[in-house]
Amino acid sequence: MQLAGELAAAYPDTYLQTHVAENTDETAWAKSLFPNARSYLDVYDHFGMLRPRAMYAHCIWLDDADRTRMAETQSAVSICATSNLFLGSGLFDFAKADAAQMLLSLATDVGGGTSFSMLQTMNETYKVARMGGTHLSALRMFYLATLGGARSMQLEGTIGNFAIGAEADFIVLDPQATPLLARRSARSDSLEEMLFALAMLGDDRAVAATYAAGRRVHLRENTHR
């Protein structure tokens, strides 16, 4: 931990990623290892690992002081809904995160999760938010999966959007990819409704094409035009 903190300070333009406060057992274990720390997150703070370009997965069992400290240091959160639900870790608190103005993004953590798909991740994240009394719009979910993540890592203008000069890494989604998705999309009368249908009903079949650095690297057969 000491060495990691020293490297983080020596190379502030590098990225730091780890997990924090994923479940109660893990939090208790961290407390046993660092009994003088105020919280699990405080362990990282003590070693100078809260800073811009630091990404912390999960962040379920934080308190208000932790959330404030993450916002102050511009340390970002990766919300891993499929993993958290599969492992029974807990529900991310969007209301408290938003109140603290934390930097948020979506991730899969497939080591403990169930899918690589960001559409499936949005599906589960929506339910997690609703369980906590928060409504996530489809526009916000797609933002968290794209530009939100880029901004969290200070990569806006490089990835996450279609700005001039940005790397053209993107997918093309087909709202008619499956019969159910096509049926629901046909009744959508706004961008919000269309994106919501894709987030709730879409899966890998909805990915019509994939582009990396502006070059098409995947095209699904029988793609709707």
Report which DSSP code applies to 190. Answer: S
Q: What domains are defined for the chain?
A: 2-152 (3.20.20.140), 170-219 (no CATH)
Question: Nearest Cα to 199, choosing from 150, 130, 102, 132?
Answer: 130
pLDDT at position 111 is 82
- Which of 103-107, 108-112, 133-137, 166-170 is least confident? 108-112
For residues 93 and 67, is the Cβ–Cβ distance under 8 A?
A: no
| 14-51 tens-digit pLDDT | 999 999 999 999 999 999 999 999 999 999 999 999 99
First to last CA, the chain: 52
pTM of the model: 0.93
The overall average pLDDT reported for the chain is: 95
Confidence of residue 110 (pLDDT cuts 50, 70, 90): confident
Confidence of residue 223 (pLDDT cuts 50, 70, 90): low
For residues 53 and 11, is the Cβ–Cβ distance under 8 A?
A: no
Mode of pairing for the β-strands spanning 54-58 and 207-212: unpaired
